[in-house]
Structure 1
Amino acid sequence: MKFKGIIFDLDGTLVNSLEDISDAMNTVLQGLNYPTHTYDTYQYFIGSGLRNLVSKALPASNNGEEQIEICFDCMVNEYRKVCTLKTKPYEGILELLDNLSSQNIKLAVFSNKADELTKKIAAEIFPDYFDAAVGLSTEALKKPNPFEALEISKKWNLKPEEILFVGDSDIDMQTAINANMFSVGVSWGYRTEEELKASGAKLVINTPSQLIQYCKNIGIKY
């Protein structure tokens, strides 16, 4: 079987967006006179969508559904203003995408970030690389639900087994397994190599260049 496509997670995989996300949420918390959090703490809030992050960031005493909804709207508004201010591709990512594109491998992004923001970041930071950039539009379709990943495979007219799913979290590895795609974990993101392996990563890479080498060694085959 030959790999013909790769679906990437966004935050913690292609881009380091930790500071922009944290700063936006802390702005909301400060406006409500709630305690703020460090970047290290936000590292463990990221991965299950902004609504989930808002819930984790709010004080336990002010964490009802109405408050989450209000703060989520405020968070999205704040984050929209700064989502590409400090966010940058990880070292070696652009070279990786150039290499994969030169091999005519289909590339896409699937994130639990809001769809509007996923598309905005992908378009501004990675113009012309991806066939699709899909974010969260409905909570029920949030990763590890494989629906959107499978929709991408249909768009590409590829079998799920022909696709690598690359991400930095347990959620991404679970999504890959649920979609019957080859799970690749990246250790430079927000989770450890041990967490990725425990979550079902078939391969864990420490630098983007290792994915290039892996693809060369197997001729994009497994």
Structure 2
Amino acid sequence: MNYKAVIFDLDGTLVNSIEDIADAMNAVLKSANYPTHSYQEYYSFVGSGIKSLVTKALPNNSCNAQQTEIGFNAMMAIYSNNCINKTKPYDGIIALLEALKARQLKLSILSNKEDTLTKKVALALLPSYFESVDGLTTEAHKKPNPIKALEISKNLGIKPEEIIFVGDSDVDIQTANNANMYAVGVSWGFRKKEELIANGAKLILNHPLELLDIL
């Protein structure tokens, strides 16, 4: 297959953002006198958007709709001002993006992170590489719903089967398969290889530049 574009997930795929996400949510929990969580625990909380993360981080006996909304608003207020304190691209990502651009592939980001935050992180850490950067604006359109991936495909003028979709979670792999794109998982992200394979990843990358081998 002659692939013409790559859609990337953001957190856990292009950038390691777990510490900034965890620090912000733990600050929210501390302010409410709730137990906090380790960075390792947050690996299982991320992937389905900040509201989902808040629900998972709150104590079970405090996780109702009102507390989730309060926690979400507090998390957004803190994280939006601290989303690039410790967040950095993974080793090899910049080299990969440079190589893909040199081959004239179209590149996009599709994240379940809130849209303004997705754009802020991408602009600060990965400027000038992407045709489009899309985060979550409508809960119903959240990955693994393929609607946004297919919208990117349409806007690029490239068929879904000519697009590689790269991510680090079951949600990303499901999105790729739901959109009829080539599903590629990464081993350096927030989930285990076994989860990616179980959800239908066609390939697992152990280093970003390995993606060039399938072009």
Please say whether Structure 1 and Structure 2 have the same fold, judged by a TM-score greater than 0.5. yes
For 1:79 and 1:152, locate their aligned partners in 2 and report how far apart those are by CA, in whole Å: 27
Q: Which residue of 2 aligns with 1:123?
A: 123
1:145-196 deviation per Cα after TM superposition (whole angstroms, max 9, x unaligned): 0111111000100110000000000000000010000000000001111111
Moved over 4 A (4+): none
Write the mapping of 1:1-222 to structure 2, written as runs, cut at 5 A: 1-212=1-212, 214-215=213-214, 220=215
Distance of 1:207 and 1:194 partners within structure 2: 17
CA RMSD of aligned residues (A): 0.6
**Which amino acid in structure 1 is aligned with residue 66 of structure 2?**
E
Question: How far, CA to CA, are the matches of 1:138 and 1:181 in structure 2?
Answer: 22
Question: What CA distance in whole angstroms lies between the structure 2 residues aligned with 1:192 and 1:21?
Answer: 19
Paired with 1:157 and 1:40, the residues of 2 have a C-alpha distance of 40
CA deviations on 1:84-126 (whole Å, 9 max, x unpaired) are: 1100000000000000001110000000000000011111101
DSSP 3-state at the match of 2:98:
helix
Matched residue type, 1:126? L
Separation of aligned partners in 2, 1:30 and 1:81:
18
How far apart are the structure 1 equivalents of 2:192 and 2:27? Answer: 28
Deviation at 1:35, TM superposition (A): 0.3
Q: SS at 1:152's partner residue?
A: helix
TM-fit CA distance, 1:2? 1.3
In 2: Cα distance, 1:69 partner to 1:147 partner: 26
CA drift of 1:205 comes to 0.8
In structure 1, runs of 5+ residues without a counterpart are none
Give 2:106's aligned amino acid.
Answer: K
Q: Aligned to 1:81, what secondary structure does the other structure show?
A: coil
How far apart, CA to CA, are the structure 1 residues paired with 2:143 and 2:26?
Answer: 25
Give the whole-Å Cα distance in 2 for the aligned partners of 1:60 and 1:159: 44
Deviations 1:8-42 (A, max 9, x none): 00000000000000000000000000000000000
CA distance in 1, matches of 2:179, 2:57: 30
Distance, in Å, in 2 between the alignment partners of 1:68 and 1:192 is 28
Aligned residues: 215
C-alpha distance in 1, partners of 2:197/2:61? 35
Q: Percent identity of the aligned residues?
A: 57
- For residues 4 and 209 of structure 1, what CA distance do their matches in structure 2 show? 17
Separation in 2, partners of 1:159, 1:97: 21
Alpha-carbon distance, 1:129 to partner: 0.3
CA–CA separation in structure 2 for the residues paired with 1:87 and 1:202: 28
